Structure 1
Amino acid sequence: MQVLLKGKLGGAKAPPQIFREQIAVFRRSGYVFLWGLVLHMKDIMKSLYNIRLLDELAEKQTVVHSIHPLAKLLTTMIYLIVVVSFGKYEVAGLLPLIFYPVIIIALAEIPLLPILKRMLLVAPFALGIGAFNPIFDNATMFVLGGFRLSGGWVSFFSITIKLFLALMGTLTLIVTTGMDRLAAALRMLRVPRIFVLQLLLTYRYISLLMEEVARTMQAYSLRAPFHHGVQPGVWGSLAGNLFLRTLQRAQSVYQAMVQRGFIGEYNTGYDSRMTINDTLYLCGWVVFFLTVRFYNIPVFIGSLVTGVGK
């Protein structure tokens, strides 16, 4: 029987051997596909975790979290105004402002690594904004040990420091206040409710959009297991499908909000009264910011050290 089978197949391998090889190939392909799908879902879940991490950090019970959101919002606004008010050639005067976010992060028991990761995301923007300054502003401002430092490099360092200080102050406000309390503080400042509502809903439901994207990518991966990424030919259909699913989800969310009494105003239920501790928090930081703005503290300390050395 084996001789007849071998003769009919023209010397080819017996069917059981062929089946075993095909099964092995499909098994290896299945392992590769499942591993790629697991890695893809891990990336999406990591993005969702990063979004929700800010809300979890804002729910801590520390002395900074207990400060009234309006006091923290006003403090951050004044901080940002002071940061951008420095001249383009001022670098040393900006350095003491790093104490504000560092002290707040330490008192609020916020891990520094998530803040630094989000700050690194804007590093290309800082480089892009000031990258051409050394080219167009090449007048020498300082000579240090034979090395000439042009005004373009000084302004580049100043822009970079300002950007990172502003971003760090903003992230510190978010992780110690939470978006709900921040929205309540904005309404206390008479910010139009339509802007506050858009900000709040966008932040709150960005995770739902990420989940819809995850489901869409998972469905595509199951239907095209051997494709590396989304093929350009299906970009339009996937985007249209995602838009329709997002629109349907938005209608469901709005109907649920209306059934719970939503009439265009999001009520956070937060008490609007500030205590004496909140006022002291605001005034203390404002005094520090103004002192840093009008007195160059690093230069003053340097002159004291130089005088003592002499």
Structure 2
Amino acid sequence: MPSLAAALLDLRELDRLARLDTPVHRLDPRAKVLATAAFLATLASFGPREVSALLPLALFPVALAALGEVPFGLLARKTLLGLPFILVLGAFLPWVDRVPVLQLGPLAVSGGWLAFASLLVRGLLAMVTATALVAVTGFGDLCAALDRLGAPRAFSQQLLFLHRYLFLAGEETGRALQARELRAFGRPLAPREYGAFAGHLLTRSWERAERVHAALRARGFDGVLPARAQTAFGTGAWGFLLGWSAFFFLCRWLALPALLGGLLAGGGS
């Protein structure tokens, strides 16, 4: 139950951060979505064994978080939640490809380990960037930007409803767990009780969702949740999008770590 409460607090903290007034927050959400899409496309375009070439891309989420006043501790907590999934996905790569491709002193590194490290770096960068994007944009404005960019309205509205349903389901789960703990005097939930508990929780969540839907209909809900006032795609938005797109292009085609290493080596000699 404490972990559930902490997860809900983090989600509420992301919503609170999205209401800040910083230069990044004031940008048109479409610019941030398109820049993030360009970032993810660049991230996916590297070879499966690339590791060092991915590192300069970390500047994008770091800049988003720093300019948007997003605590790095929050980003780290949300990113660590997805780390086990990345580790599971790449767990077998070192065993699939055992051919040495790199020599680090006495240590021979196989292609599988490089692919695992590359997958880990890509996953962490993607999760940090997605969390920072939500924190500096807001989930509602993010879905509205997807809608304005031509994404199917059903898709953007389902994402928005899912975000709001997470709070509803989390609150109902917390109440159900608390009620059970008070009646069980600290006895842990037995395996045979999980099914009944899940069914009870689903029923409570469904009934509350129906009450929420009835309240929305009473207020004129027509199938589309309202978003905040739309912003204009001005000079700042174009500068943000084109500037970061140029940086991603340089990262992809100029091998910045190797170039920087050559410059440092040349300067040292």
1:118 aligns with 2:75: no
**TM-score when normalising by structure 2:** 0.95
Paired residues of 2:64 and 2:133 also in contact (CA < 8 A): no
Measured after TM superposition, the shift of residue 162 of structure 1 is 0.8
Whose RCO is larger (CA < 8 A, sep 6+)? 2
Aligned partner letter, 2:110: S
2:202 maps to 1:243: yes
Retained in 2: the 8 A contact 1:184–1:270?
A: no
State the distance in 2 between where 1:289 and 1:61 align: 27
Q: Alpha carbons of 1:109 and 1:231: their partners in 2 closer, same or farther (altered >3 Å)? A: same
1:240-279 to structure 2, matched below 5 A, reads 240-279=199-238
The answer for the alignment partner of 2:249 in structure 1 is 290
Name stretches of at least 5 consecutive residues in structure 1 with no aligned partner. Answer: 1-39
Displacement of 1:61? 1.0
For 2:5, give the aligned amino acid.
M
Residue range with higher mean Cα deviation, 204-213 or 281-290: 204-213
> What is the deviation of 1:77?
0.6
Equivalent position of 1:80 in the other structure: 40
1:53 aligns with 13
Work out the CA distance in 2 between the residues paired with 1:44 and 1:132.
Answer: 31
| Whole-Å separation in 2 of the counterparts to 1:233 and 1:92 | 49
TM-fit CA distance, 1:205: 2.5
Structure 1's 44 and 141: CA in aligned 2 closer, same or farther, altered over 3 A? closer
Percentage of pairs with the same residue: 37
What is the CA-CA distance between 1:82 and the residue it aligns to?
0.4
How many residues align structurally? 269
**Distance in 2 between residues matched to 1:163 and 1:128, nearest whole Å:** 12
- Aligned match of 2:111: 151
1:72-117 deviation digits (Å, cap 9, x = unpaired): 0000011000001100121121110011111111111111001101
Q: C-alpha distance in 2, partners of 1:216/1:111?
A: 32
Partner of 1:21 in structure 2? none
Residue of structure 1 equivalent to 2:180 = 220
Counterpart residue number, 1:28: none
Please state how far the C-alpha of 1:253 moved relative to its aligned partner: 1.0
Question: Which residue of 177, 181, 186 corresponds with 2:141?
Answer: 181
TM-score (norm 1): 0.83
Letter of the 1:174 counterpart:
V
Structure 2, gaps ≥5 residues long:
none
Report the AA paired with residue 168 of structure 1.
V
Letter in 1 for 2:91: A
Q: CA separation of 1:92/1:44 partners in 2, compared to 1, >3 Å: closer, same or farther?
A: closer
